[in-house]
Amino acid sequence: MARDKIMLGLVGITSVSAVALGQVSQHVFDMPPCAWCVFQRLIYLSLGLVCAAGSLGHPTRLRTAVSAAVATALGISGVLAAWYQVQVAANMFSCKQTLADQVITTLRLDEMMPWLFGIYATCMEAKVKVLGVEYGVWSLSLFVILGLTSMAALICATRGHRGQ
């Protein structure tokens, strides 16, 4: 299997694992999510789907490159969402009518899958630390890693494409 597909597979698995960890945090450790937490779950799941499309089966180099490019863009959007949560939203009394809240409610994800996309806390209430580091900073760090790995997969896919 080509290196680009392996990298995309790892990004996809890690993204879905991050959502699973968020679910454990919410349902086992009673850490209700805010709108920006839930919005990041949507980005992680989108990353997982895009990476699966680019790495599973017998994808062409073009499909792998497009998936890696979209995954890179999703990684960047995740960095921006997590940064906004940590720097701005965590200091707000309400996340109502922010981009995250509007996306989740407009798509009705909170109604269709409340166990996954339900918004149960304000951003200020959801500001918690895990191992001494804010949860949002952990997410920001993971998005940086996933974005850089996706970018590396894109570089590998396009170099391989030029060689053919």
**What number of other Cβ atoms are within 10 A of residue 123's Cβ?**
27
Residue type, 140: L
How sure is the predictor about 58, in pLDDT bands with cuts at 50, 70 and 90?
A: confident
pTM of full prediction above 0.75: yes
Q: What is the pLDDT of residue 94?
A: 67
Work out the average pLDDT over 36-55. Answer: 95
64-99 pLDDT tens trace? 999 999 999 999 999 999 999 998 887 776 666 788
DSSP 27-87: HTS-----HHHHHHHHHHHHHHHHHHHHHSSS--HHHHHHHHHHHHHHHHHHHHHHHHHHH
Measured between alpha carbons, how far is residue 71 from residues 43, 66, 84, 162 in Å? 10, 8, 20, 20
Q: Is the pLDDT of residue 164 over 80?
A: no
Structural tokens at position 78: 């995740």
**Which tens digits make up the pLDDT trace of 15-24?**
999 999 999 9
State the residue range of the domain holding 44: 3-162
Number of domains the chain contains: 1
Task: Give tens-digit pLDDT for 129-152.
Answer: 889 989 899 999 999 999 999 999
Q: How does pLDDT run across 110-132, given as a tens digit for each residue? A: 999 999 999 888 888 778 888 99
Here the CATH number for the domain that contains residue 28 is 1.20.1550.10
What's the mean pLDDT when you consider all of the chain? 90
